[in-house]
Structure 1
Amino acid sequence: MLLRPYRTEDCPALTKLFYQTVHTVNAKDYTPPQLDAWADGHPDLAAWDRSLSAHLSLVAVCDGVIAGFADMAPDGYLDRLYVHRDFQRQGIATALCDALEQAVPGPYETHASITARPFFEQRGYRVVRQQQVLRKGIMLTNYVMRK
């Protein structure tokens, strides 16, 4: 596995990975309408590129295939962490988080999905509060977590 910095030309592949991951990996914890509200398949690529370019954004590549990505703001907010459905439980999320946490001083905060909460708890993050987030008229549960 290679971790490398995000490049603008990665954006279409990352948004596709995001959509596929949400609709498969997170499907056990969220309803189909919630998944569609979270990831509708019509990303604003310019907005994604601006956000990823403004953060420390890393891409995990395995055998030439993008297997995951993550980004952290300079203030320690872990915004996105997604690993392709075919690369789950292979240490990719851990490697991405380790690299981001080594590069950006803490404390750290993330808004973790129901699915991701156990991963972050194993990393020493603690739930500050559960929250309901409105996306396209649909409520989604996630957790504000800090380390």
Structure 2
Amino acid sequence: MEIRVYQESDCEETIQLFRETVVAITSKDYTASQISVWAGDRKIIEPTKWNQSLLANQSIVMMEKNQLVGFADMASSGYLDRLYVHKEYQGMGIARKLVQELEGLVKSDRYSTHASITARPFFERMGYRVVKENDVRLDNEVLRNYIMEKEIIR
């Protein structure tokens, strides 16, 4: 497996991986209606805007034999925006490697993210702590997530 910088040509594949991962992985923590809103079933994810946001951040992808198996992006502020791993590659250390790579590329005294209920235990293992519970309204659904931070002592 190799990590490389996100390219514009990865846009559609990252959208597909995002949608499939949300649907397949989060069902124990969110309702079908919440997942539908989150994964974009009720709205169209605009590829141009998605691509621009990934290009604006430090964005990386993990590839296995020309297949996208994960991707993540982090703003220069240290905010980790997206972190998704293919449903068939869960538990293989890909998310950990992606986060470690971004934390190495983006120098900050504090990293932060909005972690889903599903992702919270992973981020806790990575040294992030919950700052507060957060409810996000998408359409008519409310999705719980956690604002989490990791402080770096240098």
- In the alignment, structure 2 segments of 5+ residues that lack a partner are none
TM-aligned CA deviation for residue 126 of structure 1: 0.3
Tell me the distance in 1 between the aligned counterparts of 2:46 and 2:138: 15
Tell me the distance in 2 between the aligned counterparts of 1:83 and 1:27: 15
Q: Does 1:78 align with 2:80?
A: yes
TM-aligned CA deviation for residue 43 of structure 1: 1.2
TM-aligned CA deviation for residue 17 of structure 1: 0.3
The match for 2:141 is: 138
After TM superposition, list the pairs within 5 Å mapping 1:27-106 onto structure 2: 27-41=27-41, 42-106=44-108
TM-aligned CA deviation for residue 37 of structure 1: 1.0
TM-aligned CA deviation for residue 137 of structure 1: 1.9
The answer to which of 130-139 and 34-43 deviates more is: 34-43
The match for 2:14 is: 14
TM-aligned CA deviation for residue 141 of structure 1: 0.2
List per-residue Cα deviations over 1:36-91 (Å, max 9, x = no partner): 11112431101101100000000000122100000000000000000000010111
The match for 2:124 is: 121
List per-residue Cα deviations over 1:82-136 (Å, max 9, x = no partner): 0000010111101100000011112100000000000000011000000110011
Tell me the distance in 2 between the aligned counterparts of 1:110 and 1:34: 20
Aligned length: 147
TM-score (structure 1 length as normaliser): 0.98
Q: Secondary structure at the match of 1:20?
A: helix
Runs of 4+ in 1 over 4 A off after TM superposition: none
CA RMSD in angstroms, aligned pairs only:
0.7
Q: Secondary structure at the match of 2:76?
A: coil
Identity across matched positions, percent: 47
Q: Secondary structure at the match of 2:27?
A: helix
- In the alignment, structure 1 segments of 5+ residues that lack a partner are none
